Amino acid sequence: MSSQSSILNSEYHWYALRITYSRELVLKEFLDRNNIENFIPMRYEYVMRKEQRIRKLVPAIHNLVFIYSTRKKIDEIKEENAVLLPLRYIMDRETKQPIIVPEIQMRHFIAIAGSYDQQVIYLPPTEYSMQKGDRVRITGGVFEGVEGIFVRVKGDRRVVVSIQGVMAVATTFIHPSLIVPITEE
């Protein structure tokens, strides 16, 4: 093992993983119990139970989990729990390495996806990775400080935060007065 890959294995990063058979909440419970930071994009959904409509928090994207840990620790979890929690890294197609999400990008993503707002839209990664829009920062409201691309989605101007190769999430409508462009320096 090279020293570069050894360093990567011992550093904390956000990794995007897939867990099969919709076991994301079982995995979340396991990770929370072991004090391992994780994030699953969730949304509210209405389900019928005994002729009653119940509002339930469910994963927005099935089988997707983000884990903040070392690669070594995630590999240990994968080996020890292979039958109960079948995990796979989401791989970068070019480098053939697990996708590592930059810390700041993940924080912006969590700020939007963690709001459980019904107006938040989850998008496939290819749909907005190539779209042109202005890089902006939101200056007010619940998404204050979030940076992303200002584009039109479903008729409204929204800020989209994209995690390359995994997915993108779009805010609710953002009034232009709450947006400032980010200029490259």
pLDDT digits (tens, 9 = 90+) for 137-179: 999 999 999 999 998 888 888 999 999 889 999 999 998 999 9
Cβ atoms of residues 122 and 45 within 8 Å: no
Going from the C-alpha of 9 to that of each of 2, 63, 79, 151, the distances in angstroms are: 11, 24, 15, 36
Res 118: pLDDT: 78
What distance in Å separates the CA atoms of residue 48 and residue 116, rounded to the nearest whole number?
A: 20
Confidence of residue 15 (pLDDT cuts 50, 70, 90): very high
Q: Which residues pair with 159 in a beta bridge?
A: 150
Confidence of residue 3 (pLDDT cuts 50, 70, 90): very low
What distance in Å separates the CA atoms of residue 46 and residue 162, rounded to the nearest whole number?
A: 27
- Amino acid residing at 114: G
Give the lowest-confidence range in 21-25, 75-79, 113-117, 135-139: 113-117
70 and 91 part of one domain: yes
95 and 120 part of one domain: no
Cβ atoms of residues 172 and 120 within 8 Å: yes
Identify whether 106 is part of a domain: no
Structural domain count, the chain: 2
Cβ atoms of residues 28 and 65 within 8 Å: yes
Q: pTM (2 decimals)?
A: 0.87
- The residue out of 101, 125, 154 marking a domain boundary is 101
Res 140: pLDDT: 93
